[in-house]
Amino acid sequence: MNTSQQIAKHFREVHFGGNWTCSNLKDNLADVTWQQATQQIYSLNTIATLVYHTHYYVNAVLKVFQGSELDAHDKYSFTHPPIHSQEDWENLLSKVWEDAQAFETLLKKLPDEKLWEYIAEEKYGIYYRNIHGIIEHIHYHLGQIAIIKKIIQQKENYKIQNN
């Protein structure tokens, strides 16, 4: 297995499972409703916002893999389309899973020597750093998602028990 394939494996695992942490986006989000995904807890980002935010960077680099220029702006990475229904939530998740699979497929095909080239301008760093950064970024926000989900579930259980 070459380096690109190994990195693609790690990328897939943070999305779909099998990683060292035994925690992944798909399993953590499987039972989250749209109401839970959009529920504001304290001043934290919502689950939906965190999912969109992590996907924003996956989508930006996926487009680079597909031949486009890098076009990502941090100021837009938290601004997702409104989610007003389960269908809206499921559509966001479908896009996340679809793009993750496409990203993995193209990453597997990336020649190892390309990993050491700049992804765009020098200031954005090399492919290797950006791809690993995306994986690390997802793990970071996955932890937040898991904690926010637990808070929401505990609040819901408390309401049920005290009614």
Q: Where are the beta strands (DSSP E) in the chain?
A: none
Identify the bridge partners of residue 118 per DSSP, sorted by sequence position: 126
- Residue 109 sits at φ, ψ, to 5 deg, of -85, -10
Predicted local confidence at residue 161, as pLDDT: 75
Predicted local confidence at residue 84, as pLDDT: 98
Predicted local confidence at residue 21, as pLDDT: 87
- pTM higher than 0.85, yes or no? yes
Instruction: Check if the beta carbon of residue 136 is closer than 8 Å to that of residue 33.
Output: no
Predicted local confidence at residue 39, as pLDDT: 97
Residues 6+ apart with CB under 8 A from 70: 60, 61, 63, 64, 119, 120, 124
Give the amino acid at 126: I
Domain residue spans in the chain? 3-161
* Residue 161: both structure tokens together: 């028990």
User: Could you list the mean pLDDT of each consecutive 10-residue stretch along the chain, which spans 163 residues?
Assistant: 94 94 95 97 97 98 96 94 97 98 98 96 95 97 97 85 73
CATH topology of domain 3-161: Four Helix Bundle (Hemerythrin (Met), subunit A) (1.20.120)
Predicted local confidence at residue 160, as pLDDT: 75
